[in-house]
Chain A
Amino acid sequence: GDSVTQMEGPVTLSEEAFLTINCTYTATGYPSLFWYVQYPGEGLQLLLKATKADDKGSNKGFEATYRKETTSFHLEKGSVQVSDSAVYFCALGLTGNQFYFGTGTSLTVIP
Chain B
Amino acid sequence: NAGVTQTPKFRVLKTGQSMTLLCAQDMNHEYMYWYRQDPGMGLRLIHYSVGEGTTAKGEVPDGYNVSRLKKQNFLLGLESAAPSQTSVYFCASVGPTGLAGGFRAYEQYFGPGTRLTVT
Contact = CB atoms under 8 A, between A and B. Distances in A.
Interface of A: 29-32, 34, 36, 42-46, 49, 51-52, 89, 91, 93, 95, 97, 99, 101-104
Contacts, number: 71
Nearest to A99: B108
B105 A95 contact: yes
A95 B43 contact: no
A104 B50 CA distance: 26
A6 B41 CA distance: 12
14 contacts: A29-B103, A30-B100, A30-B101, A30-B102, A32-B97, A42-B113, A44-B92, A44-B110, A89-B43, A97-B31, A97-B94, A99-B33, A101-B43, A102-B42
Contacts of A43: 90, 110-113
Contacts of B40: 103
Interface residues of B, number: 27
Interface of B is mostly: strand
Contacts of B108: 34, 44, 46, 91, 93, 99
B101 A52 contact: yes
A45 B110 contact: yes
Given A29-B101, A30-B100, A51-B98, A93 B43 contact: no
A52 B113 contact: no
Contact of A95 (B103, B109, B112): B103
Contacts of A95: 100-101, 103-106
Given A29-B103, A30-B105, A44-B110, 9 more contacts: A30-B101, A32-B100, A44-B43, A44-B108, A93-B107, A97-B94, A97-B106, A101-B42, A102-B42
Contact of A51 (B33, B41, B97, B111): B97
B99 interface: yes
Contact of A93 (B41, B99, B105, B110): B105
